[in-house]
């Protein structure tokens, strides 16, 4: 697929890349010498505070890097033509003594299923929404990011419709954006559905990113791309203005290179929203950066979800080393088994299909799209099959379109099954029985080759994300190690609203192991 027009240099408009004849002179300045690769949010803030570099200059560096590097991985679906202007405004505010918080002037990328009321499109990667009216307002979390001073530098590619179009899909592929690649080994898949955000943050194309998850869509691409991902409790972060799959499981969350960065982002986007009833319960504002404790593993009781061991020897070896590191740091490890682990999978899929039809059609109507129903989108895809379905079809669309409303007995029974086995007789029971602070398991197996014939077909795939996803409970993935240049992540999950505890444990693990390393953009593994 040809490179999209909005990633050509002309797409930057007034924010054009520094002309080549000026690069040498600019490189002699302090800003020119400042390195953005692997720099944290705190480091960027310190540099801006000290006057070493401005937000506009940081943003320019990321735009330049996108133009130079993203041709390898195809993670950015669109850049924000106003990014430099927004950054310049943040600089003016800083000079006037106004700093909004840790994200002030910091470039962020967001997934292309999150509404922005600006010059960028919101399409979920589908050609059907390319010409849809611009959203009337920003998604609530976008407003939160803007209020925090973040510079939204662009939108990221994704598995089309957040990987809920067909069972034989290819993660990281969309009709609008093409195929995103894994920055560690380019012929490997980045996982999905937040594929572009995971790849972009791993490749240092922005400081931090936002993904969304229904089941695995933050955890999997974060772990497979060697970064930190936080899938919050459903209701911690607003879903208003996010193209939905399932109200019972959908959430947005940070995807960052460090736990500290993810904690800063989560602090910014955690807020009650009247437009999303799930967020409006009794709650206190939390600064998650206060839980970045290097000794957070000491005395922590962590359940080891042994059901996920024995499926992949490579993963077992990496996770066993991670457990040894936790134990050395003072954690108390308790083996945990989930006898009901396989009892909610079919029910989950039923719930997702019912809620997808209901939620998506409401979104399409509110957006003013000429495609108002799932049947309309099915017809669009059939009419544009050469562009929208060259590799896989739309089986999930078709099965979801046949579902009834949310009063269906089948739907209500499936919801109860999910809650019973993921919550009551799952995470909640295990944590109470063993007096646990968190549960741990593998986030991923080594990623698979991109395969346009067979779709996603990872060998020995293993992930512990589903139970927390179905329960609507929080999950954090952190880099744990590598095999043959490919990242392996470890997950920490627990009860609803336990983000602070999980961040403390995840940060301590990260500081103990320091497993992350930046990608090499290898063509293939030899």
Which residues are catalytically annotated? 111, 193, 217
Across 144-167, b (16+ Cβ under 10 Å) vs e yields bbbebbbbbbbbbbbbbbbbbbbe
Q: Is the dihedral of CA 464, 469, 474, 480 positive or negative?
A: positive
Token pair 């078709």 is found at 398
Which of 461, 464, 495 lies closest to 477, judged by CA?
A: 464
Angle CA 162–176–159, to nearest 5: 20
Note whether 74 and 236 are within 8 A (CB). no
Token pair 């953009």 is found at 521
Long-range CB contacts for residues 392-398, cutoff 8 Å, separation at least 24: 392/165, 392/166, 392/168, 392/169, 392/170, 392/455, 393/166, 393/168, 394/165, 394/166, 395/165, 395/166, 395/167, 395/168, 396/164, 396/165, 396/166, 396/167, 396/353, 396/356, 397/161, 397/165, 397/166
Token pair 């077909």 is found at 457
Note whether 252 and 211 are within 8 A (CB). yes
Q: How many Cα atoms sit within 13 Å of 416 on the Cβ side?
A: 6
Start-end of H helices in 270-344? 313-328
């Amino acid at each position: 697929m040809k490179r999209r027009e909005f990633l050509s240099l002309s797409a930057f408009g007034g924010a054009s890349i520094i002309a080549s004849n000026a690069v040498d002179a600019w490189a002699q300045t302090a800003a020119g010498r400042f390195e953005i690769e692997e720099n944290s949010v705190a480091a960027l803030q310190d540099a801006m505070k000290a006057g070493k570099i401005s937000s506009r200059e940081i943003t320019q560096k990321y735009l330049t890097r996108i133009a130079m590097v993203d041709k390898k991985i195809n993670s950015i679906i669109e850049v924000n033509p106003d990014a430099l202007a927004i950054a310049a405004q943040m600089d003016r505010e800083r000079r006037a003594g106004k700093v909004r918080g840790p994200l002030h002037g910091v470039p962020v990328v967001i997934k292309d299923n999150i509404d922005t009321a600006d010059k960028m499109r919101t399409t979920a990667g589908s050609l059907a929404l390319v010409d849809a009216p611009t959203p009337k307002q920003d998604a609530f979390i976008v407003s939160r990011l803007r209020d925090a001073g973040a510079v939204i530098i662009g939108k990221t590619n994704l598995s089309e419709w957040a990987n809920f179009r067909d069972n034989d899909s290819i993660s990281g592929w969309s009709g609008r954006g093409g195929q995103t690649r894994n920055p560690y080994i380019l012929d490997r898949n980045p996982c999905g559905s937040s594929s572009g955000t995971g790849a972009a943050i791993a490749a240092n194309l922005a400081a931090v990113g936002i993904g969304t998850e229904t089941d695995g869509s933050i955890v999997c691409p974060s772990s497979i791309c060697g970064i930190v991902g936080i899938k919050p409790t459903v209701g911690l972060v607003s879903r208003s203005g996010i193209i939905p799959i399932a109200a019972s499981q959908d959430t947005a969350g940070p995807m960052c290179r460090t736990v500290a960065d993810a904690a800063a982002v989560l602090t910014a986007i955690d807020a009650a929203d009247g437009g999303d009833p799930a967020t409006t319960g009794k709650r206190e504002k939390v600064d998650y950066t206060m839980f970045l404790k290097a000794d957070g593993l000491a005395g922590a009781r962590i359940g080891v979800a042994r059901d996920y061991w024995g499926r992949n020897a490579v993963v077992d070896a990496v996770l066993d080393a991670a457990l040894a590191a936790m134990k050395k740091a003072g954690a108390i490890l308790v083996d945990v088994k989930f006898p009901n682990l396989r009892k909610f999978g079919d029910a989950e899929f039923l719930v997702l299909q019912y809620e997808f039809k209901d939620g998506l059609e409401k979104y399409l109507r509110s957006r003013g799209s000429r495609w108002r129903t799932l049947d309309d989108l099915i017809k669009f895809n059939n009419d544009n099959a050469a562009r929208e379905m060259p590799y896989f079809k739309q089986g999930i669309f078709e099965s979801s379109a046949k579902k009834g409303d949310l009063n269906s007995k089948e739907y209500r029974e499936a919801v109860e099954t999910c809650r019973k086995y993921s919550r009551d007789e799952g995470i909640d029971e295990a944590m109470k029985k063993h007096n646990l602070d968190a549960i741990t398991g593998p986030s991923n197996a080594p990623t698979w080759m991109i395969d346009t014939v067979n779709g996603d077909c990872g060998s020995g795939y293993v992930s512990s994300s589903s139970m927390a996803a179905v329960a609507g409970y929080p999950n954090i993935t952190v880099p744990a190690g590598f095999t043959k240049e490919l990242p392996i992540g470890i997950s920490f999950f627990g009860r609803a609203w336990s983000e602070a505890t999980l961040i403390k444990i995840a940060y301590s693990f990260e500081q103990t192991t320091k497993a992350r390393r930046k990608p090499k953009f290898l063509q293939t593994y030899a």
